[in-house]
Amino acid sequence: MSFVQVNGADIHYEMTGETGPCLVLIHGSGGSAALWPEELLRLPGVRVAALDLPGHGRSGGRPSDRVEDYARVVAGVVESLGLSGVYLLGHSLGGAIALQLALSSPPWLSGVILVGSGARLRVFPAILEGLENDFAGSLDMMDRFLFSPGTDESIIRASRRSAETAGQKAVLADFTACDRFDVMERLGEISVPALVVSADNDALTPAKYGKFMADAIPDARFALLSGTGHMMALEKPKEVAALVSSFLSGG
Ligand code: COA
């Protein structure tokens, strides 16, 4: 288990692989590094760092309701570890954080991979109200939006545990950060290559959001996964890992 101090908080990360390009995994709302599938954590020929955002998983610090705050923490982790040639892979809120960082063109950034995400992430008012007033009930409701029908129960339970561990304040802060996020007008400024991955059964970040990013980011490719929902890296880990491998090797 490894930690790095960023802005006075101990940020937890797990690093695997010794050579190759560096992939930094940024989880979504209420998630943690523990939720990534083995297929991504141990991508052959790639150094992979999976981190817990502040107030999530094993990280200290406080969650934030601003994507910009999370982006500063991720940059702090990358810079403290002295990483270069970094590809940021973000899921949902994590994708928003990766986009925010790409817009600031840090010298260590080589590319972004945006999985189940969007350049604007308005949230159903019922989700925000539910998180505020009935946390358990809102997690029940969310399970229906996050996964496609027939998803293995063990995957749904792992995701649920992660949100329960993060707790009500963190999950509400994350969704509020999403709701405030909007860089739709700025995607043309992104100067690194991007891979956008969407799913045909994603009710939270519809494929339309992914297509919009792929059309507006100057150097972007788009992949649409079928038969999966918002949690596509958990539902279709092999397919997502294959897309990421191909992108990292310039394919
Ligand atoms: N990329 C491309 N288009 C987008 C977009 C994105 N990231 N975000 C919004 N749009 C489009 C919408 O499709 C809509 O287009 P339309 O007028 O042709 O239908 C338009 O921009 C306005 O949408 P929005 O800004 O979202 O406001 P709204 O008041 O119409 O809808 C919600 C609000 C919450 C109902 C809607 O955003 C939604 O369905 N969100 C997805 C569910 C959710 O809660 N996701 C959580 C994200 S973490």
In this predicted structure, the answer to whether residue 112 has a pLDDT above a threshold of 90 is yes
Q: Distance between CA atoms of 224 and 113, rounded to whole angstroms? A: 13
Which residue puts its alpha carbon closest to atom 39 of ligand 1? 124
Average confidence score pLDDT of the chain = 97
Which residue puts its alpha carbon closest to atom 3 of ligand 1? 209
Pocket test for ligand 1, best of 29, 97, 121, 122 (most atoms within 8 A of CB): 122
The domain total for the chain is: 1
Ligand 1 centroid to Cα of residue 120, in Å, is 7
Ligand 1 centroid to Cα of residue 188, in Å, is 20
Which residue puts its alpha carbon closest to atom 28 of ligand 1? 122
Report the nearest atom of ligand 1 relative to the CA of 209: 1
Ligand 1 centroid to Cα of residue 50, in Å, is 29
Residue 207 Cβ inside 6 Å of ligand 1? The answer reads: no
Domain that holds residue 79: 2-248
Residue 179 CA neighbour count, 13 Å, CB half = 15
- Which of the pair, 54 or 141, is modelled with greater confidence? 54
pLDDT digits (tens, 9 = 90+) for 143-182: 888 999 989 999 999 999 999 999 999 999 999 999 999 9
Report the nearest atom of ligand 1 relative to the CA of 178: 48
Q: Give the pLDDT mean for 186-194.
A: 98
Residue 124 Cβ inside 6 Å of ligand 1? The answer reads: yes
Longest dimension (CA), the chain: 47
Contact 170, 85 (CB under 8 A): no
Ligand 1 centroid to Cα of residue 31, in Å, is 22
In this predicted structure, the answer to whether residue 11 has a pLDDT above a threshold of 80 is yes
DSSP conformational letter for 59? -
Residue 89 Cβ inside 6 Å of ligand 1? The answer reads: no
Name the pTM for this structure: 0.98
C-alpha torsion 40→43→49→54, nearest 10: 0
Expressed in percent and rounded to 5, the helix, strand and coil fractions of the chain are 45, 20, 35
Look at strands 109-115 and 194-199 and give their pairing. Answer: parallel
Pocket test for ligand 1, best of 120, 184, 209, 217 (most atoms within 8 A of CB): 120
Find the CATH number of the domain harbouring 69: 3.40.50.1820
In this predicted structure, the answer to whether residue 103 has a pLDDT above a threshold of 80 is yes
In this predicted structure, the answer to whether residue 251 has a pLDDT above a threshold of 80 is no
- The residue to which tokens 């949230």 are assigned: 123
Ligand 1 centroid to Cα of residue 181, in Å, is 12
- Which of the pair, 193 or 149, is modelled with greater confidence? 193
Ligand 1 centroid to Cα of residue 83, in Å, is 35
Residue 144 Cβ inside 6 Å of ligand 1? The answer reads: no
pLDDT digits (tens, 9 = 90+) for 58-91: 999 999 999 999 999 999 999 999 999 999 999 9
Q: Would you state the pLDDT for residue 196?
A: 99
